[in-house]
């Protein structure tokens, strides 16, 4: 049986552009999703929005409030979830995928989970990281799933969004009895170097702390924040070389000076 899959891509760009790495990401989603929607809280010109529209089934803009969860909530309010077997929520905070997304979906077919992500994180409590989330039918069509999204408010503080919605979503769904999993769980990664513990002992985000280990284990994305801000002062050239070896066009990597 073919899995019917909807993807909703949340976009923001401080320069009001649909950058080439975003276009690449949208094309990759088309390979694994029947339908792709694009919603942006950036100030896009008609031409920029047209670029996204040419690569997706629907593309529109909205007011810049609520961050990704605000965009996803608006889009989900327009979707008939009973039509879909799986829902993908993703965003413009990553470069990639470095290889076809079919690999991740095929790997996760071995998991009995109801919701999965590329990675998980133990900061602020265990949770799935929201740059790429996949919800399966039992969760997607549940009353609990709809209740969560109906509760989402248009918050203006990013830290509050992370605590209430990124962390809160995983906590809520597991409390409701749904099983969650990650393509590359944090527990599967090697111990962090002592220098990391000494510098920022409470900083666990694997996409910023152990990017190479994630890539080696099949996680197909690199966070924009890593290459832009590099908060843990990682050696970035090995990451860039790994991206190139995987076949990712490094000319797609364009970094804004502000998020």
Q: What is the pLDDT of residues 83-142, one digit of tens each?
A: 999 999 999 999 999 999 999 999 999 999 999 999 999 887 899 999 999 999 999 999
* Mean pLDDT lowest among 15-19, 75-79, 165-169: 165-169
State the sign of the Cα–Cα–Cα–Cα dihedral 96, 166, 183, 216.
Answer: positive
Q: pLDDT tens, 24-51?
A: 999 999 999 999 999 999 999 999 999 9
Contact 23, 55 (CB under 8 A): yes
pLDDT at 1 over 60: no
What residue ranges define each of the domains in the chain, with the CATH number in brackets? 5-189 (3.90.550.60)
Q: Kindly compute the dihedral angle of the four CA atoms of residues 26, 32, 33, 38, in this order, to the nearest 10 degrees.
A: -10
pLDDT at res. 199? 64
Query: What pTM value is reported for the model?
Result: 0.94
- The closest alpha carbon to 165, from 59, 55, 71, 259, belongs to 71
Between strands 86-91 and 132-136, the pairing is antiparallel
Bond prior to 190 in cis (omega within 30° of 0): no
The owner of tokens 């999204």 is 149
pLDDT at res. 124? 79
Residue 187 vs residues 121, 127, 204, 223: alpha-carbon distances, Å: 10, 13, 11, 20
* Mean pLDDT lowest among 24-28, 183-187, 197-201, 231-235: 197-201
pLDDT at 161 over 70: no
pLDDT at 197 over 70: no
Helix (H) or strand (E) holding 38: strand 35-40
Cα 50 to Cα 205: distance, rounded to the nearest angstrom? 35
Cα 25 to Cα 252: distance, rounded to the nearest angstrom? 11
pLDDT at res. 165? 76
pLDDT at res. 246? 96
pLDDT at 195 over 70: no
Q: pLDDT tens, 202-244?
A: 668 999 999 999 999 999 999 999 999 998 888 999 999 999 9
């Amino acid at each position: 049986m073919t899995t019917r899959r909807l993807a909703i891509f949340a976009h923001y760009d401080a320069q009001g552009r649909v950058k080439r790495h975003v276009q690449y990401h949208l094309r990759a989603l088309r390979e694994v999703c029947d339908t792709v929607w694009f919603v942006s809280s950036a100030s896009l010109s008609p031409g920029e929005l047209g670029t996204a529209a040419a690569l997706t089934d629907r593309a529109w803009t909205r007011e810049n409030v609520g961050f990704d969860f605000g965009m996803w909530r608006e889009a989900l309010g327009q979707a008939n979830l009973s039509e879909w077997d799986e829902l993908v929520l993703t965003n413009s905070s990553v470069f990639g995928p470095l290889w076809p997304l079919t690999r991740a979906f095929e790997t996760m077919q071995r998991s009995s989970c109801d919701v999965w992500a590329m990675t998980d994180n133990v900061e602020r409590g265990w949770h799935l990281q929201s740059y790429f989330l996949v919800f399966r039918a039992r969760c997607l069509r549940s009353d609990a799933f709809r209740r969560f999204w109906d509760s989402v408010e248009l918050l203006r503080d990013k830290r509050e969004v992370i605590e209430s919605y990124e962390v809160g979503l995983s906590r809520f769904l597991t409390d409701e009895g749904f099983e969650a999993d990650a393509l590359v769980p944090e527990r599967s990664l090697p111990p962090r170097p002592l220098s990391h513990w000494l510098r920022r002992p409470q900083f666990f985000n694997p996409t910023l702390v152990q990017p190479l280990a994630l890539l080696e284990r099949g996680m197909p994305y690199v966070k924009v924040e890593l290459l832009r801000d590099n908060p843990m002062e990682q050696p970035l050239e090995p990451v860039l070389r790994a991206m190139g070896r995987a076949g990712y066009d490094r000319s797609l990597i364009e970094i804004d000076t502000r998020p």
